[in-house]
Amino acid sequence: MRVLTDAACIRVICSETLLVAVGNQLLLLYLSPHGKTRRTNVPLPRLVDKIHGIETCLLEEKKYLIVFHAGREAYSIILDCQTHAFSDSVLIVVPEKLCPQPVSHIRRRTNDWISSISLLSSSQLCIVTSHGVAVLLKAIFRDNTVQWGLIDKSPCEDGSTLYCSTITGQQWDNVIVLSGTALGLLLVWTVAGDKASRGRVLQNVSAHNGVIFSIACDFDSGLLTTTSDDRSIKFWKIDIAKNEEHCSGIIVNLREERYCFAHTARVFQCRIIKEAHRTLVASIGEDSHLCLWTVDGDLVLKKRLDEGPTLWNMDYDPSKATIFITASNGNLHKYCIRHILEDNGDRPNDQSAMVDVSPTLLKNEHLAKIRFITFGSMVAVTNQNRVMIIEQSGTITNSFESVDKFKCSIIEVGQSYLYLAGGCSIQVYDTATNPSTHLVRSIGISFLHNAFHCEGNEDGLEGAIRSVNFCARSKTVAICDASGRSIVFDEAFENILSYHRIPSSAERWLTSFATLNDELLLMADRSGHLYLLDRAMVNPVFKLANVHGKLGITSIITEERNLYATKGYFFKTTGHDGRICELFMNITSKTLEMLTFSKSIVGWIDRTMVGDTNTFFLGFNDSHFFMVDAGNETYTQFDCGGGHRCWDFYYDENSSTFTYVFIQHKRLKRVRFTPQPNAGSELMLPRFNWHTRACNALLVVPRHDSHLLLSGGEDNILRINVLQNGEMLEQPRRHLFNHISSIKTVIAKKRLENDSLLMISAGGRAQICVASLDLNIFSIKQECEYMLLATDAERSRWKANRRSTFDPETKFMCAAFLATDRIVFGCSDGFIRIFQLSANNGLFTLTLENETFYGRCILKVVSAEVAGTSLFITVATDGYLCFWDVSYPNEPIYRYRHQSSGVNAIDLNQVGGGNIIVATGGDDQSVAVSLFDVKKSEEGKLQIRADSTLFDKYLHTAQVTGLKLLDDDKMISVGVDQRVYITSFANFTKLAIESETNTCVADVKGISFLQDDGEIVVYGCGIEIMSLKL
C-alpha cells in the first residue's frame, strides 16, 4: 500500500468483490478463480480530499457504474468485473444556477461539500450537499464513458449544516431525504413537487444530545435508526402516507421507540441488515467495536474488531452474510453473521448460555476447587475435603476414599495423571483410562534433603507443599514449598530428577515451570522472577527479575527456531499484567534476555492454550472472562465475577468446543463455546496495523533491497515496517510497547559487527528507550530504558513517603547522534541534554554528560561535521538557529533569526568550502533557506557567518511541519495545509516553485525522502508515499 490513512468508505460491488476508499485512492479487492485475493488500484486523478462515499449500479452483466465523491467533487467510472478493468474517470460538474431560495439572503450553492449521493437508476444521480441542496443529474453514455447533465435542483427550506444525510427512493418525484445536524436535529424533507412543497421539511425532531452521524431507514418495515456522538443508537418507527390535503402531499409520522447504549464512544454508522428470517441493525464507532442489535433494541453481539482505531464505514454482502468494515488506520475487517441470522432470534447470548451444573452435596457442603482431567471429566474438592469426579452435566461419577490427615489444597493435572497435594503429602491418580480413575501412589514429601543444606540460612524445618506444576514438554512435575525448595519428579512420581532452591523473595513458591532440554529448565516464582536452572545444580545459574512486574508468571511457552537451534531457545511468558513477553535463553552463556513484549486486551492472563494453528490466551478483565488469540481477536467473553475464583477450561478436539467451568457463589457454573468457522467471505483483507493516532516521527533506514520505516506517535508504540518497491508490506513488521507516553523522536544507527540496527526513541514522561533489531531474522530486543526524572515506582514511593520533587515533567522533543556514540536531546523544559551511550558486554547504558538551559522549548536538532569539528544546530519556539560546538556545549557559538516564531522543520546540506545550507519551516507558515560560511579561527574556534538568506512567507497557508533539502538546490516542504511543494533556490536569487501537489494525510507531522527511489514519505494521521515527480 502507498497510502495508509482513513479508510472512510467501502462498497460491495458483487459477491467477493469490494471497492475500498483509503484516503484519496480507490482499491479493488476481488477473488480470483484460484481462490487468491487480488488487489487493483483504480486509476484516478489526484484528489484533494478523501473519498467519503461510493455508489454502484449494474449497467449490464458484469459491468457496473460507480460514482464516488470526495469533498466538493464527484466522479463516475465504469468497472468491468469480468476483466477487472476500469474506464477513465469523469468529473461530474454541476453548473451553478441561481434559483429562488427559501431564505433570500443565503446563497445556496451546489459547489459545496457533498453530504451523500444515490444512484436512483443507471442514468439518474441524486446529490445532496452539506447545506441541504438536492441535485438531479442524468447520465449520457458514449464510448464507454459517461457525461452528466443537470436536470433539477431543490434546496431544503432549513439551511442547517448537515453532518449526515440519507437519500431514499428510486425516482426523483418520491425522493425523501433524511438528514442530521450538529445540534441533534433529525430533518425529513422532500425534493420534488410544486413550489410550495419543494424542499419542505416534513418532520423536524430533536433526536440526540449531540451530532447525528448516520441515519439508516427501511420504509417497508417502518424502521429508522440514528447514531450520534452521545454514544447511543436510537430506534424509530416511521410511517409515510399520502395526503392530498397537505401542502406537500405527504405526511410523515416519526416516533421514538428505543434509546440504546453499548458503545463507549461516538457511534459513526448504523446499517439495517434485512434477511428472510431475521432483521438486524449493525453499528460501529470510535471504540473499535461492532454491535449487532435486534429490531427490538436487544444487543446480540458486541465484538472488538481492532486495537484502538475508529471504525468509519461498513457494507454488507448478503450472498456471504458478511459485514465488511473500514478503520481509521487503513485496516479492513470482515465478520460473518450467518450463524446469528440463522438462529432466528433463539441464539442465547453469553450470559444465558451460562448453566448451573452444581452437583448434589451434603448439607453445608460446597465446591472449593475444580479442574478438568482427561476426557472432559472434572475433579472437585469440597470444603469438607471430599474429592470426587464430576461429569460436565454435574453428575458425580466417583468419590475418592478419604485418607487420614490428608487435606487437599492443590490440584494439578498432567497428561496421564492427577496430582492432589496437601501438607507434606501428594496423591497420584491414573487418569489415562476412562472412566476409571484409581490411586497409583500416595507419598510423603520431605524438603529436608541434604541438597538444601548447602545454604547457611537453612532453618531445618519441614515445609508444606505450596505449588505443584506439570511440564507437558518433558512430562515432569515440580513441587515447591514456601521456602523456595523445589523437587522435580518424573510424571509418575517414581523418580526424583533434581533438587533446586529458589532465592529469597517475598513469595518463593512456583507459579510456572518448563524444561528446555535435558540439562536446563525454567522456574518462575510468585514474586515475578524468572530463573534458569541446571539440573546438576541446586541454585539458579541466572535470574531475570520482575519479568511481569511484581506479579507472577502464569505460563511459559517454548519454541525452537532453526537459525538458533544451537545457540538457544526463544520462548514467551504471560502474566497478570496483561503482557506477552518474548525472551531468549543463550545456551553458551546460560543467560536470559528480555527481547520485547506485546500487550493483550486481556488485563489478567491466567492460562495459555497452544493449538495447531493458533495460540489462545485466557484470563480476565475486571469481572469478565476473556479468550483471545495472538492477534487480540476476541473469541468469547462473559461475566463471571472476576479472576480470583477457581476455574478451568477444556477443549474437545472432536467437536471443537471449549467448555469453561468456574465456582461462583459456591455454585458450579458452566459455559460452552464453539468457535464459528468463517463461512462467509474468503477474501483476505489487508491489515497493516498502522498507528491508530498521529505519527510524530518517522525514520527511513535502507536495508538490503528494501527500506525500514521506524515510526512513533501518539499511540505510544514504536512500529517497524518494511517498504519494498514503493509499497508497504504487511509482513514482516514489529512493534515495541515500552513507551508509557507519546513518542516524539526516533533515530537509528547501524551496527556492522552483528548486522543489527540500534534504535533510540524518546518522547513524553522524559523517557528514552534503546532497542536493537536483528536485520537478518527481523527480531527485536529491548536494550535499556532511561527516565530523566524518576521511574513510576520511585515517584510512587515519594508520594507514599510524602516527598515531592520540584523538577517539571518534560518531554524529549528531538534527538541527533554526535561523534563517539553521544546523543543530543532537545527537551520541552528548555534544556539541551547530551548523553553518552555505552555498551559493556552487550549491556547498554545511557549516562547524562551535560545539560544546558536555553530557556525555550527545543523543537528540532540536527548535527554535522564541519571544518573538522562536530557541531549541532537547534531550533526552538523563538525562531532562532543556534549553532553549538560539541566540545563547548554550555552556550551557542552563533545565533541567527530564521523564523518569526516556532520552527517545526529543519534540514541541512554540506557544500564545498566549509559551507552549509540550512532550511527551516515554522508556525509562521513560511519557509527560509540560508547559506552559512563555517571556518576555524587562528585560535581553533568555529566562526559562522550568514552569507545569503531566502524567505517566502506566503508559500503555505498553515504551519510548515516537514522539510527536506535535495542535492540540486531544491527543497521539499509540506505543511498542515496538506500541500507539498518542490521549490528551487539556485544561486540564492529567489525561491521558485517548480511543482506542487496535495496529500490526503491530515495533520501532517513531517516528511522523509527515499533518495535512491526518488520518493517522498509524508506522515501524520496516516502515511502516503508519492513520487518526487509531482
872 in the same domain as 1017:
yes
Q: Does residue 608 sit within a domain?
A: yes
User: Do the domain assignments include residue 863?
Assistant: yes
Query: Which residue, 595, 625, 648, sits at the end of a domain?
Result: 595
Give the residue among 911, 821, 904 at the shortest CA–CA distance from 860. Answer: 904
In this prediction, residue 142 carries a pLDDT of 82
Residue 925 sits in the same domain as residue 972: yes
Q: Are residues 863 and 1005 in the same domain?
A: yes
Q: What distance in Å separates the CA atoms of residue 758 and residue 870, rounded to the nearest whole number? A: 21
Three-class SS state of 914: helix
Q: Cβ distance 510 to 488 under 8 Å?
A: no
Pairing of strands 476-481, 465-471: antiparallel
Are the CB atoms for 685 and 631 separated by under 8 Å? no
- Any domain includes 812: no
Q: Does one domain contain both 359 and 467?
A: no
Residues 889 and 1017 in one domain: yes
pLDDT of residue 453: 75
Please report whether residue 575 resides in a domain.
yes
Range of the domain at 1012: 854-1024
Would 418 be classed as within a structural domain? no
Residue 783 CA to residue 769 CA, distance in Å, equals 8
Q: Domain for residue 329, yes or no?
A: no
Clarify whether residues 544 and 590 are in a common domain: yes
Q: What is the pLDDT of residue 804?
A: 45
Exposure of 853 by Cβ count < 10 A (0-12 exposed, 13-18 middle, 19+ buried)? exposed
Whether 950 and 929 have beta carbons less than 8 Å apart is answered as: yes
Query: Does 569 share its domain with 635?
Result: no
Q: Give the CATH number, domain containing residue 498.
A: 2.130.10.10
pLDDT given for residue 796 in this prediction: 58
End-to-end CA separation in angstroms for the chain = 19
Q: What are phi and psi of 494, to 5 degrees?
A: -90, -30
Number of domains in the chain: 3
Say yes or no: 927 and 1018 in one domain. Answer: yes
Examine the domain organization and report whether 546 and 648 are in the same domain.
Answer: no
Nearest to 187, CA basis, from 177, 195, 175: 177
Handedness of CA 916, 922, 928, 932 (dihedral sign): negative
Residue 489 lies in a domain: yes
- 519 and 660 fall within a common domain: no
**Blockwise average pLDDT, block size 10, the chain, 1030 residues:** 91 95 96 92 93 95 95 95 92 76 59 94 95 93 86 90 95 94 94 82 93 95 95 95 68 92 96 92 96 95 90 96 96 92 59 80 92 90 90 89 78 92 91 77 87 62 90 94 93 93 90 92 93 94 92 85 65 92 91 91 91 88 88 85 83 90 92 81 92 96 91 96 91 92 96 90 94 91 86 57 56 93 94 94 91 95 88 96 93 94 95 89 95 86 90 93 93 96 92 93 95 92 89
605 and 581, same structural domain? no
Of the residues 630, 648, 674, the one at which a domain ends: 674
pTM: 0.89
* Nearest partner of 136 among 171, 180, 188, 84, judged by Cα: 171
Q: What is the pLDDT of residue 98?
A: 59
Cα(482)–Cα(409) distance, rounded to whole angstroms? 14
Q: From the CA atom positions of the chain, what is the Rg in Å?
A: 34
994 in a structural domain: yes
Which of 555, 576, 595 is the last residue in one of the domains? Answer: 595
Q: State whether 520 and 479 are in the same domain.
A: yes
